[in-house]
């Protein structure tokens, strides 16, 4: 079902954990499966110098989160925005078709982190970044509404993560 590379990223995730004092944070979720991802970035001169993630989800969600951190580290924010879900899945040797949504979520989380960075910097948000943000924000709102009775506010230390 999963490739050995995907299983390796699941069993030994790269760059896992919360980052202290990140320059940007992206948070996304999937209303259907309930996966939630956080991507933390340290950025210098528009280059992603460090990246970490936290993910609550399935094997594919953790593997794709791990892989996108490896793909993004060292890239400019513009280069990072060009990382596609297909590149994430392909770098893992593929994903089962029913799990491709996890690679989409990983790409959305990175987009959200870059959006957060640009917004904090008071910089112009490119149209495609804004469009992807609007979609992700609507999904997160639905997810949080759906599960609000099961979650305590800030249970996962998310204060300050949203816009």
Active-site amino acid positions: 33, 102
Residue located via tokens 């990382």: 83
**Closest among 18, 25, 45 to 114, alpha carbons compared:** 25
Q: How far apart are CA 106 and CA 66, in angstroms?
A: 9
State the first-to-last Cα distance of the chain, in angstroms, to the nearest integer.
37
Q: How far apart are CA 124 and CA 4, in angstroms?
A: 41
Q: How far apart are CA 68 and CA 80, in angstroms?
A: 9
């Amino acid at each position: 079902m999963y490739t050995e590379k995907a299983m390796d990223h699941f069993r030994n995730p790269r760059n896992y954990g919360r980052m202290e004092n990140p320059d940007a944070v992206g948070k996304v979720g999937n209303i259907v499966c309930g996966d939630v991802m956080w991507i933390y970035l340290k950025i210098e001169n528009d280059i992603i110098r460090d990246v970490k993630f936290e993910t609550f989800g399935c094997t594919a969600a953790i593997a794709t989160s791990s892989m996108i951190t490896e793909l993004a580290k060292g890239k400019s924010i513009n280069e990072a925005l060009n990382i596609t879900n297909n590149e994430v899945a392909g770098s893992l040797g593929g994903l089962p078709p029913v799990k491709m949504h996890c690679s989409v979520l990983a790409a959305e989380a990175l987009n959200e982190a870059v959006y957060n960075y640009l917004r904090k910097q008071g910089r112009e948000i490119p149209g495609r970044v804004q469009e992807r943000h609007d979609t992700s924000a609507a999904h997160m709102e639905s997810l949080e509404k759906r599960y609000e009775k099961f979650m305590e506010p800030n249970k996962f230390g998310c204060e300050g993560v949203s816009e």
